């Protein structure tokens, strides 16, 4: 944390549930009361133990900031914002609305209360946030892996594989330790697939599950959205594990909910997804490519219906509880396989919708280029996110968010009623609506263009808002980084965190935004 000297070169860093052992010095930082830019060198420590390590944090000149050989519950250096409900008078009326105190700090701070549902409760790691590494199945005999091709699936990107895939998943004897192994290929899905509650699915080099929206399928009507892949029924418990899979569309599928996850684990962390992604358009066979969906920044236009993608990528419903790790929901912004590799306009409705009542753990995720939002935490509680990344759809605001997927109250969509600038109705990076006990440690929410023009980066006005908090409390966002957004955080339609006060090396950064 010391490179750059008085101009720290590190943007932000979070250590959580970590241990420094037998180290002369834990962290050396060049952040100080007069270092610039204001937010450069942001550092967050959350439940970090320094064992036989002294000091824990010090300046380059050796001056100790935090002595070592202790457990540091919570330390923050950088800009800190605490939101609260304020009372004020306007036109002789007493009014209430959100406000925030802010300060540039470098000190120990109070650690937020975390629900026990999110934490490990036994053993030496008790009190840490639950995590689970990707299952590798290295001890499973090869005979236990059942091949989708041996079973009769086509995987050719042309023929309807719905019945084959469903029969294959149902045929595997999971209770006997068998694993559903999807050979690499492209599996066309035209109707809902139900994943058994004890299924273990592994892909060979990310096989493509292609949700078809053409006539005769379930997924062509955005006014009647249907689930393509359903994991459990509401209230079910199980042990589903999905690794190394890719879900995408075959052409336009504006009525497709690509995956709905209802399942909770039989024990905390028993179920989840690892290295599993949603890759929408931009590749051979998707029909959402540069020959059909080329960008058109030189004239005002609406959204081409042939370039609509899906209704929603991933829905974690009220009863869902799972671990997610290394998951990417990417709506193509450029062509990958045709020779031109040009930028393209693909219109996907929504990214990740989380309505779970917890617990949910999301590690290392990215949702990019959807229309209404990339992350939407709605009517939810007890959700943990560690390192999230988002990009606003590049073509916006030509057209803007409202031109193709009308907001639906029943889906807790943002309606952009607060908007008065053209740069406002654009993809929300993170929206938190009517939710409590929501935690995010590390976020990069980027808006690089306005109608493919990156000149807006010079004045940081590519987008008006990127984080929206509505009717929520117990919200804790650490190391929040945004690019191209004028207002980093709004609460109940009140702008509380301006980018101008939080400059950093590349992004604008807030060490902590909390609404207790």
As a whole number of angstroms, the distance between CA 328 and CA 23 comes to 36
pLDDT tens per residue, range 420-438:
999 999 999 999 999 999 9
The Cα 27–Cα 423 span in angstroms is 40
Q: How many domains does the chain have?
A: 1
Reply yes or no on whether the pLDDT at 217 is more than 90: yes
pLDDT band (50, 70, 90) for residue 161: very high
Please report, rounded to a whole number, the percentage of residues in the chain having pLDDT higher than 90: 96
pLDDT confidence of residue 384? 98
3-state secondary structure of 405: coil
CATH number of the domain bearing residue 303 = 2.160.20.10
By three-state DSSP, how is residue 167 classified? helix
What distance in Å separates the CA atoms of residue 131 and residue 238, rounded to the nearest whole number? 18
Find the domain containing 238 and state its range. 149-450+469-480
Half-sphere exposure of 280 (CA within 13 A, CB side): 35
Task: Give the separation between CA 480 and CA 440, rounded to whole angstroms.
Answer: 8
pLDDT value at residue 200: 98
Q: How confident is the model at residue 227 (pLDDT cuts 50, 70, 90)?
A: very high
Residue 24, burial from CB neighbour count under 10 angstroms (0-12, 13-18, 19+):
exposed
Q: Tokens for 307?
A: 């370039």
Res 2: pLDDT: 95
Whether 248 contacts 210, CB under 8 Å:
yes
Mean pLDDT across 110-115: 95
Mean pLDDT on 184-197: 98
Residue 352 lies in a domain: yes
Question: From CA 482, how far away is CA 280, in angstroms rounded?
Answer: 24
Q: Quick check: is 47 in a domain?
A: no
Q: For 454, list phi and psi in degrees, rounded to 5.
A: -85, 5
Nearest partner of 439 among 472, 482, 407, 399, judged by Cα: 472
% helix, strand, coil for the chain, step of 5:
10, 45, 45
Cα separation values, 311 from 255, 293, 334, 351, 402, Å = 5, 18, 20, 9, 14
**Is-contact 398 404, C-beta < 8 A?**
no
The partner residues of 166 in beta bridges, in order of sequence, read none
Q: Is residue 369 part of a domain?
A: yes
pLDDT at 461: 96
Question: Is 206 a member of any domain?
Answer: yes
459, pLDDT greater than 90 = yes
Give the model's pLDDT for residue 90: 86
Residue 457 placed within a domain: no
User: Rounded to 5 degrees, what are φ and ψ at 455?
Assistant: -60, -25
pLDDT at 89: 86
Give pLDDT, residue 83: 97
Q: Specify whether the CB–CB gap between 126 and 118 falls below 8 A.
A: no
Asked whether residue 297 is domain-assigned, the answer is: yes
Q: Is 510 inside a domain boundary?
A: no
Q: Give strand pairing partners of 441.
A: 386, 478
What pLDDT, on the 0 to 100 scale, is given for residue 88?
Answer: 86
In angstroms, the Cα distances linking 208 to 8, 29, 136, 203, 237 are 43, 45, 20, 9, 27
Q: Does residue 27 carry a pLDDT above 90?
A: yes
* pLDDT at residue 403 in the model: 87
- Asked if residue 343 is part of any domain, the answer here is yes
Tell me what pLDDT residue 191 has. Answer: 98
Residue-wise pLDDT for 350-393, tens only, equals 999 999 999 999 999 999 999 999 999 999 999 999 999 999 99
Interatomic CA distance for residues 491 and 470, integer angstroms: 6
Q: How far apart are CA 392 and CA 500, in angstroms?
A: 20
């Amino acid at each position: 944390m010391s490179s750059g000297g008085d101009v720290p070169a590190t943007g932000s860093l979070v250590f959580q549930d970590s241990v420094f052992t037998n180290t002369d010095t834990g962290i050396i930082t060049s952040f100080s009361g007069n270092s610039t830019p204001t937010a450069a060198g942001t550092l967050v420590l959350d439940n970090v133990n320094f064992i036989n390590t002294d000091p824990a944090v010090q300046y380059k000149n050796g001056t100790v900031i935090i002595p070592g050989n202790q457990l540091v519950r919570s330390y923050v250096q950088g800009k800190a914002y605490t939101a609260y409900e304020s009372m004020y008078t306007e036109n002789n009326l007493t009014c209430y609305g959100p406000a925030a105190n802010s300060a540039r700090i470098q000190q120990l701070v109070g650690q937020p209360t975390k629900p026990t549902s999110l934490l490990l409760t036994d053993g030496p790691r008790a009190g840490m946030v639950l995590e689970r590494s990707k299952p590798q199945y290295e001890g499973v005999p090869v005979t236990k892996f059942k091949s989708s091709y041996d079973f009769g699936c086509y995987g050719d990107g042309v023929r309807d594989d719905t019945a084959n895939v469903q029969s294959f998943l149902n045929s595997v004897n999971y209770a006997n330790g068998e694993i559903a192994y999807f050979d690499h290929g492209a599996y066309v899905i035209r109707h809902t697939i139900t994943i058994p509650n004890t299924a273990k699915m592994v892909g060979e080099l990310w096989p493509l599950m292609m949700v078809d929206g053409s006539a005769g399928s379930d997924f062509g009507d955005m006014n009647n959205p249907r689930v393509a892949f359903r994991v459990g029924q509401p209230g079910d418990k199980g042990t589903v594990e999905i690794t190394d899979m890719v879900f995408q569309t075959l052409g336009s599928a504006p009525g497709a909910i690509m995956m709905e996850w209802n399942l909770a684990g039989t024990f905390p962390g028993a179920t989840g997804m690892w290295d599993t992604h949603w890759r929408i358009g931009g590749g051979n066979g998707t029909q959402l490519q540069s020959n059909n969906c080329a960008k058109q920044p030189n004239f005002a236009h609406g959204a081409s219906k042939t370039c609509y993608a899906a209704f929603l990528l991933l829905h974690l419903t009220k009863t869902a509880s799972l671990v997610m790790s290394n998951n990417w929901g990417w709506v193509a912004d450029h062509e990958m396989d045709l020779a031109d590799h040009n930028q393209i306009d693909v219109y996907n409705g929504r990214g990740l919708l989380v309505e779970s009542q917890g617990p949910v753990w999301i590690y290392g995720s990215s949702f990019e280029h959807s229309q209404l939002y990339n992350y939407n935490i709605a009517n939810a509680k007890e959700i943990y996110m560690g390192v999230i990344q988002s990009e606003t759809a590049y073509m916006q605001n030509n057209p803007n968010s409202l031109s193709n997927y009308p907001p639906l109250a029943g889906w807790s969509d943002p309606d952009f009623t607060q908007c008065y600038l053209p740069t406002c109705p654009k993809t929300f990076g993170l929206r938190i609506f009517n939710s409590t006990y929501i935690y995010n440690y590390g976020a990069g929410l980027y808006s690089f263009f306005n109608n493919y023009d990156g000149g807006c980066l010079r004045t940081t006005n590519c987008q008006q808002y990127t984080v929206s908090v509505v009717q929520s409390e117990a919200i804790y966002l650490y190391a929040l980084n945004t690019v191209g957004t004028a207002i980093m955080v709004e609460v109940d339609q009140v702008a509380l965190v301006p980018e101008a006060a939080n400059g950093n090396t590349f992004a604008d950064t807030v060490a902590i935004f909390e609404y207790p």
